[in-house]
Chain A
Amino acid sequence: MSTTAHLTAAEVEEFGRALDRLRDEVIASLGDADARYIRRVIAAQRKLELAGRALLFASWLPPAWVAGTTALATAKILENMEIGHNVLHGQWDWMRDPKIHSTTWDWDMASPTRMWMHSHNFVHHTWTNVLGKDRDLGYTLLRVSPEQRWHPVYLLQPFYNALLALFFEYGIALYDLEVERIPAGDKSAEEFLTQLRAIAAKVGRQIAKDYVMFPLLAGPGFVPVLLGDVTANLARNVWAHTIIFCGHFPDGAEVFTEDRLEGETRGEWYVRQLAGSCDIEGGRLLHLMTGNLSHQIEHHLFPDLPSNRYAEIAPRVRALCRRFELPYTSGSLARQVGSVYKRILRLALPGPARSEPGRAPAAEDIRAAG
């Protein structure tokens, strides 16, 4: 039985049209306030980064090291999540500002933007939570759903998941290479090498900046600055990994089989995005620091709506779910993180009995609408 079994086909389309109307409404109301928002966030992020770097130059004072590292880590998180991820989704393309546009933006991440946009915007956002299609389901590395067949290598997943968290940006860059497509002949070795070189170039520049140039500029402060930069990058990695894993892997997120895609309608697409995603509840600061991926459901329904609008439409999406008796999975950060790690530990072992894909999870797992 799937999430939508209680709905007629007409009701599913009615749900879809209601969401379409919501989308149109937001798009029609985009304006100066939204443009001011993203420009303010970008300016604040850059100033925070400058402040962090400046403080680190005084890092022979321990409080300055802590403050500088915190500021730099915060700036890097904002740069990746609220700015980079969302700009690369085209959320701000409507402004027609060539400086804030998905086709011109580059981010402080190891992944070249074009490659990431393919694997994220296209593969993940189109095939969300479809087994065998959505590579983000465990990132071809982890078993995050009982429907994935167990293999002894997963016994080690608590360990390599921790490594992935620490080196998340490199993990994502390598993941975007889609290595598994090469043996099948879907991807040429040439293309692979070109992409690998692009990653190496980005990684090289980031290492030169964070681990060579800024420490050298600090002169005798070389070591504390280096340590500050390393800490900031690791903190950003762990935070991004945490938030992103909370998007689709907590209890309540559904997975689907490929047959679900056959003739999928607009309404069914929306339902799949909804059922495969989970929100995190919290205050405005949490939403900002997660790049509004705490509104993962809203983001998956409307990946190209500006992130500052997700908070305002979330209650309306929730109300629609209540009306159509559809699940809306949401919980505190602690609950969602706990749920994800419990799952990673449990699924390292064989079983549990594979529930039928596309099935609704057990009722107690769902914090249903309301």
Chain B
Amino acid sequence: MAVDAGVRGFLTGASAPGAARWAGALRRLGNAAEWLTTPLSPDDYLALVNPLWTAREPRGRIEAVRREAADAATLVIRPGRNWATHTPGQWTRIGVDIQGVRHWRAYSLSSPPGRDGRVTVTVKAAGLVSRHLVRRVRPGTIVGLARPEGEFVLPDPPPPRLLFLTAGSGITPVRAMLRHLFPGTGPGRDSPDVILVHSAPTAADFIFGAELRAMEARSPTLRLHERHTRAQGRLSPADLADLCPDWAERPTWACGPAGMLADAEAHWAGHREPLHVEHFHPTTPVTVTDGGRVRFIKSGRECDADGDLPLLVIGEEAGALLPSGCRIGVCRSCVGRLASGQVRDLRTGQVHGEEGDLIQTCVSAAAGSVEIDL
């Protein structure tokens, strides 16, 4: 798998015999230091000096914020220790504090792995977190930076001919791939024959528009077709026949809104060359109806829940062995990790919850289907 290969490459690069000895010695030193820092870890003290030195909680420092097209920005991030080099096309999760609360969101890495170790994500202001990242975040901010993930990557070596089909901020993972395929300023040697078909409302909305137009100008094997949907209307897969007559013979990577990807998948059905897709807007089925199916993952119990009964009660009735305490939302003995869905706080009526949140089961009811790691 591409990710593993990347990690292995990274590790082998750094594990000459001397380096391995050093790493071992450092690890032993770290273990010994635990005796001096218990119950904390040496990491917690290292982070006082430089937040990026912590290995247990992966982090990055935003070093620059570059304005891109309308309401989009590229964040240049210096990853902390233990960052695994990514493969172009992969995404990472960024954790940022807004009003004191940590929010995690997934973003495609928009740069190929660089020599200076920095990575970029390019964000279009749309929701709470992306708006914050585009408009408010300042250089110097420390963010959570999870390991790179994702299967939306090119094989190595890349196919001789390929097609990219993108729309809106769906260009971001593809930009990382293009920078990888067409590096530097001169014409790319051994670069494959690439066609990029990109849709954006107007020319000004094309994120990385100027850069990719310049890349096309200097790269004989790269052709760029821009579709300005405000003037020309939405691209239909049928239009591809004109833009890229041999589309059916090109392995294709597509990234964009759900509707566009669904159209593409329907169009490609039955064709020989594969279509790789990346849903850059994670489809969150937030159908908030009160009550729903509740699954207690560790206990292996499942049941239908009313919207006005605490999950704790529901689970206990279903026979799950759940931690509990005061049952009035005070002592927090009952918290469990939300794996999916949302809950309603029975005290305030507020519906909340993101994957990974710790929720108090004694005062939370199901708002739709819920999975909880208890």
Chain A positions near chain B (C-beta within 8 angstroms): 24, 30-36, 43, 46-47, 50, 89-90, 93-99, 101-103, 106-108, 117-118, 121-122, 125-126, 202, 205-206, 208-209, 213-214, 217, 269, 303-304
A102 to B331, CA, bound (A): 10
Known: A93-B358, A99-B57, A126-B325. A121 touches B102 (CB 8 A): no
B353 CB → nearest A CB, Å: 11
Of B38-46, B80-88, B282-290, which stretch is located at the interface? B38-46
Known: A206-B38, A213-B36. A35 touches B100 (CB 8 A): yes
Contact across chains for B102 and A122 when beta carbons are under 8 A apart? no
Contact across chains for A121 and B48 when beta carbons are under 8 A apart? no
Range class of the B interface residue count: 20 to 34
A367 to B44, CA, bound (A): 44
Residue pairs across A and B with Cβ atoms less than 8 A apart, 5 shown, are A96-B102, A122-B326, A122-B331, A125-B326, A213-B35
Per-residue CB contact flags for chain B residues 83-103 toward chain A (1 = under 8 Å, else 0) read 000000000000001011111
A38 CB → nearest B CB, Å: 9
The reply to whether the CB of B302 lies closer than 8 angstroms to some CB of chain A is: no
A198 to B114, CA, bound (A): 47
B333, closest chain A residue (CB): A122
A316 to B36, CA, bound (A): 44
The reply to whether the CB of B357 lies closer than 8 angstroms to some CB of chain A is: yes
A263 CB → nearest B CB, Å: 14
A90, closest chain B residue (CB): B332
A99 to B39, CA, bound (A): 13
6 A-B pairs besides A47-B48, A117-B333, A304-B332 with CB distance below 8 A are A35-B101, A94-B100, A95-B102, A96-B101, A126-B326, A209-B38
* Choice from A94, A97, A117, A205 contacting B331 with Cβ under 8 Å: A117
Contact across chains for A121 and B97 when beta carbons are under 8 A apart? no
Interchain pairs with CB closer than 8 A, number: 98
A304 to B35, CA, bound (A): 32
B20 CB → nearest A CB, Å: 28
The reply to whether the CB of B275 lies closer than 8 angstroms to some CB of chain A is: no
Question: Which 7 A-B residue pairings sit nearest by Cβ, starting from the closest?
Answer: A35-B100, A121-B331, A106-B39, A122-B325, A90-B332, A96-B102, A31-B99
- Residues in A neighbouring B45, C-beta threshold 8 A: 46, 50
A269 to B331, CA, bound (A): 14
- Residues in B neighbouring A118, C-beta threshold 8 A: 325, 333
Contact across chains for B99 and A32 when beta carbons are under 8 A apart? yes
A264 to B353, CA, bound (A): 30
A31 to B101, CA, bound (A): 7
- Residues in B neighbouring A217, C-beta threshold 8 A: 36
Contact across chains for B332 and A93 when beta carbons are under 8 A apart? yes
A46 to B43, CA, bound (A): 12
A68 to B77, CA, bound (A): 39
Contact across chains for A31 and B331 when beta carbons are under 8 A apart? no
- Residues in B neighbouring A35, C-beta threshold 8 A: 97, 100-101
A106, closest chain B residue (CB): B39
A24 to B38, CA, bound (A): 37
* Choice from A107, A117, A206, A214 contacting B332 with Cβ under 8 Å: A117
Per-residue CB contact flags for chain B residues 27-53 toward chain A (1 = under 8 Å, else 0) read 000000001111110001100100000
A31 to B331, CA, bound (A): 22
- Residues in B neighbouring A108, C-beta threshold 8 A: 38-39
A226 CB → nearest B CB, Å: 15
A300, closest chain B residue (CB): B330
A172 CB → nearest B CB, Å: 16
